[in-house]
Chain A
Amino acid sequence: KNQVEQSPQSLIILEGKNCTLQCNYTVSPFSNLRWYKQDTGRGPVSLTIMTFSENTKSNGRYTATLDADTKQSSLHITASQLSDSASYICVVTYNNNDMRFGAGTRLTVKP
């Protein structure tokens, strides 16, 4: 069954600290994996996209990794800021045009 599982469900960290969010998937055949940031009451905004051959991709303080063999991805946030408080959603595309969304990780950054 095509699934995308994210962990943890929620996370609270102090401003300035780093954190890592996880995404495991079982979808096949894999096309690409995206991480989105969704602020409360807003639509998701794409942070990174990774294809099968890419292991790491960075976007500012966000670094995504992909292990296509183990079907795992992570999103690492460095030197967190209050504005990083949001839900982070992992989305896997398979069969070239089908997408499966994870339920998201709710990150809260406290001063």
Chain B
Amino acid sequence: ETGVTQSPTHLIKTRGQQVTLRCSSQSGHNTVSWYQQALGQGPQFIFQYYREEENGRGNFPPRFSGLQFPNYSSELNVNALELDDSALYLCASSFGTEGPNYGYTFGSGTRLTVV
């Protein structure tokens, strides 16, 4: 059984640029959730994808967008990067939409630095 893998592990971008982060869900999981974790803070929910559609969104602007593919992997896209976007971006997979009850598996995250 493979866990959740995220790529890249580290990334440095310039303000105004666009970035794409990738996540492969754990085998058997069909739901992917994305979180932004600033240094010293708990993760903040960005959005969740279930069956290739967005299934819930946190308080993030539209320049944060995502995709889920038929194999349940997912991408997080951020346009017009701002300095405050610098954070650890975590992907978590689960089965169905009952993740909070049945458990999430987190990836190791992508550390994004915007300069």
Contact = CB atoms under 8 A, between A and B. Distances in A.
Given A43-B90, A43-B106, A101 B101 contact: no
B108 A103 contact: no
A97 B61 CA distance: 22
B34 to A, nearest CB: 12
Given A49-B103, A103-B41, A43 B4 contact: yes
B26 to A, nearest CB: 12
Contacts, number: 55
Contacts of A101: 42-44
B103 A97 contact: no
A19 B95 CA distance: 34
Contacts of B108: 41-43
A109 interface: no
A44 B43 contact: yes
Contact of B97 (A49, A89, A97): A97
> For A32, A103, A106, which residue has the most chain B Cβ atoms within 10 angstroms?
A103
Interface in B1-45: 4, 40-45
B100 A32 contact: yes
B103 A43 contact: no
B11 to A, nearest CB: 13
A46 B42 contact: no
Nearest to B97: A97
A3 to B, nearest CB: 11
A44 B107 CA distance: 8
B100 A103 contact: no
Interface of B: 4, 40-45, 56, 88, 90-92, 97-101, 103-104, 106-109, 111
